[in-house]
Structure 1
Amino acid sequence: MFNLTHPKLVTLAEAEGFGGTTDFLEAYALDGIVPAICMAPDCDHTADLEPDQRAGFCEACGRPSMKSGLVIAGVI
């Protein structure tokens, strides 16, 4: 099941300059490196990571909380 309205996915799509999450997913669906966002409530740090990343290291807050936009949306 896809989740295109998750607040962190919306924030990530906006940070990448997209008007919506659908456009974001269409742009990155087949890429080898995709935007990811920190899932910690008090951090919105973004970075380019692997499409299947679920617990990447956040350079801003130091937690293993980076998640790919494709994972957040439920594509992967």
Structure 2
Amino acid sequence: MFNLTHPKLVTLAEAEGYAEVVDFLEDYAQGSIVPAICMAPDCDHTADLEPDQRAGFCEACGRPTMKSGLVIAGMN
């Protein structure tokens, strides 16, 4: 089941310059490096990480809370 309305996914897509989450996902669906966002409530740091990243290190807040946009959407 895909989740295209998760607030962090919407924030990530907007940070990457996309008005629509679907357009963001179409562009990165086959990428080897994709945008990720920190899932901590008080942090929206973004970075380019692996498509299956679920617990990457956030350089802004220091927590293992970075998640790929594809993972948030349920695509990976």
TM-score range, shorter chain: over 0.9
> What does residue 28 of structure 1 align with?
28
Question: Within 5 A, what are the aligned runs for 1:8-23?
Answer: 8-23=8-23
What is the TM-score when the length of structure 1 is the normalising length?
1.00
Q: Which runs of 5+ in 1 are unaligned?
A: none
Q: Percent identity?
A: 84
Which stretches of structure 1, 4 residues or longer, exceed 3 Å deviation after superposition?
Answer: none
Query: Matches of 1:54 and 1:46 in 2, distance apart?
Result: 13
Aligned residues: 76
Kindly report the root-mean-square deviation, in angstroms, between the aligned alpha carbons of the 2 structures. Answer: 0.2
Query: Matches of 1:45 and 1:4 in 2, distance apart?
Result: 19
Q: Which runs of 5+ in 2 are unaligned?
A: none
Question: Within 5 A, what are the aligned runs for 1:1-76?
Answer: 1-76=1-76
